[in-house]
Amino acid sequence: MFGLTGWKKEVLDWILTIGCAIIIAFGLRTYVLTLVNVQGTSMEPTLSNSDKLYINKLMYKPERGDIIVFTPASDPDRPYIKRVIALEGDTVYIDFETSEVYVNGEVIDEPYIKEPTKLIGSYISQLMLSGHYSKDEPIVIEKGMVFAMGDNRNNSKDSREIGQVPLEEIAGGVCFRFWPFSEFGAIPDGTE
C-alpha cells in the first residue's frame, strides 16, 4: 500500500482499521442503536432507576405495547421512557373509578402495571372540565401521535399530563436491557 513496507505498512493498516471501526461505531450509535439510562421510577416494575437500555432508532415505527423513548417539547431536559397504549386513530378512555383503560372501546389487559391507574393528569383534567371526556367521548389519537403511559401509573408524568406524543419526538423503541446484567435481554412488550 503506497509503496510502504514492514512496520510502516502495519502501522498504517492498524490506523485505517481503527479509524473504520470508530466511524462504524459512531454510525451505529447515531443512526441505529443508542444507549439510554432510565431516570426515575415511572416504569416500575418493568424497568428500574439506572437500568441501561438500547433503543432501536433505524426506521422505528411504534406499536401498541412498545416501550419508547421520547423527549417532549414541553420538557426537553431529559428523555421520557413510557409504554405505547394507543396509536393514531385509536380511542382511549380511562375509567378512574375502576382503573380500567379502554382502547377502541375494549378494556386492555395490563399485567405489567405496578398498581391500578388513579392519577388523572392535567391533560385529561382539562378535557373533563371542558366536558369532552367520557366513555362516550374518549380521546381520539390524532394523526402522527401516540398515547403513552408509564407502568407505575400513579408515579408517572405521561400522556395523561402532557397529552399525545408526536412521532417526531420519539427517539426509538427499547430493544433490550443492557444493565443490570442479571436482567440482560429483551423486555416484554406487554402484549404476550
Catalytic residues: 42, 82
Q: Which residue has the cell 407502568?
A: 151
CA-based max dimension of the chain: 81
* Number of other CB atoms surrounding residue 132 within 10 Å: 11
Nearest to 108 by CA among 171, 163, 17, 190: 190
Q: Which helix (H) or strand (E) holds 43?
A: none
CB 83 within 8 A of CB 148: yes
- The single-letter code of the amino acid at 78 is R
Q: Which three cell numbers stand for residue 192?
A: 404476550
CB 51 within 8 A of CB 69: no
